[in-house]
Amino acid sequence: MVNVGIAGASGYTGLELIRLLVKHPEVRVSALTSETYQGQRVADVFPALAGHIDLDFVRLDSSLTKDCDIVFLALPHTTAMNHVPGFLKDNCRVVDLSADFRLKSAEVFETWYSVAHSQQDILGQAVYGLPELHREQITAAKLVANPGCYPTGVILALAPLMTTDWVDLGSIVADCKSGVSGAGRKPALNTQFAECNEVVSAYGLGTHRHTPEIEQEISTLAGRELRVTFSPHLMPMTRGLLSTIYLNLVRDLTLDELDKYYREIYKNEPFVRILNPGVFANTHFVVHSNYCDIGLQIDARNRRIILTSAIDNLVKGAAGQAVQNMNLMLGIDETTGLDSPGIFP
Name the catalytic one among 68, 92, 149, 196. 149
Residue from 231, 321, 324, 325 in contact with a second copy (CB under 8 A): 231
- Residue 299 contacts residue 306 (beta carbons within 8 Å): yes
CB of 191 to a second copy, least distance (A): 5
Least Cβ distance, residue 66 to a second copy (angstroms) = 27
* Window 269 to 308, contacts with a second copy (CB under 8 A): 273, 275-276, 279-289, 291, 293, 295, 297-302, 304, 306, 308
Q: Residue-wise over 125-155: b if at least 16 C-beta within 10 A, else e?
A: bbbbbbbbbbbeebbebbbbbbbbbbbbbbb
Tell me if 62 contacts a second copy by CB under 8 A: no
Using rule CB under 8 A, residue 28 touches a second copy: no
Q: Does 13 bind a second copy (CB under 8 A)?
A: no
CA distance linking residue 127 with residue 23, whole number of Å: 26
- Between residue 189 and residue 208, which ones bind a second copy under the rule CB under 8 A? 189, 191-203, 205-206
Q: How many CA atoms lie within 13 A of 232 on its CB side?
A: 22
Minimum distance from CB of 137 to a second copy (Å)?
Answer: 26
Residues 153-172 that bind a second copy (CB under 8 A): 171
Tell which one of 28, 77, 142, 227 touches a second copy (CB under 8 A): 227
For 59-142, list the strands marked E by DSSP: 70-73, 93-96, 127-128
Is there binding between residue 40 and a second copy (CB under 8 A)? no
Does residue 47 touch a second copy according to CB under 8 A? yes
176 assigned to active site: no
Rounded Cα distance between 180 and 203, Å, is: 12
Report the site for a second copy in 102-121 (rule: CB under 8 A).
none
Q: How far is the CB of 211 from a second copy (least distance, A)?
A: 8
Residue 36 in 3-state DSSP?
Answer: coil
Q: Which residues contact 129 (CB under 8 A, 6 or more apart)?
A: 95, 138, 144, 145, 146, 147, 321, 322, 325
Minimum distance between the CB of residue 89 and a second copy, rounded to whole angstroms?
34
Closest approach, Cβ 27 to a second copy, in A, equals 16
Minimum distance of a second copy from residue 267's CB (angstroms): 12
Question: Cβ-count burial of 54 within 10 angstroms (0-12 exposed, 13-18 middle, 19+ buried)?
Answer: exposed
Q: Closest Cα partner for 142 from 119, 118, 116, 123?
A: 123
Angle of helix 211-222 relative to helix 106-113, nearest 10 degrees, comes to: 150
- Assess 51 for contact with a second copy (CB under 8 A): yes
Nearest to a second copy of 12, 128 (CB atom): 12
Total of chain residues touching a second copy, rule CB under 8 A: 86
Q: Are 20 and 336 in contact (CB under 8 A)?
A: no
- 123 versus 338: smaller Cβ distance to a second copy: 338
- DSSP conformation letters of 298-318: EEGGGTEEEEEEEE-TTIIII
DSSP state of 204: S
Residues 231, 178: contact at Cβ < 8 Å?
A: no
Piece of the chain touching a second copy by CB under 8 A; list 41-49, 103-111, 123-131, 137-145: 41-49
Binding part of the chain for a second copy, among 47-55, 106-114, 122-130, 326-334 by CB under 8 A, reads 47-55
Stretch of 87-95, 128-136, 227-235, 318-326 lying at the interface with a second copy (CB under 8 A): 227-235
> Could you say which of 5, 12, 27, 159 contacts a second copy (CB under 8 A)?
12
In angstroms, rounded to a whole number, what is the distance separating the alpha carbons of residues 317 and 189? Answer: 24
- Binding residues for a second copy restricted to 306-345, rule: CB under 8 A: 306, 308, 339-345
Binding a second copy (rule: CB under 8 A), the pick from 61, 238, 252, 256 is: 238
Active-site residues, by number, are: 149
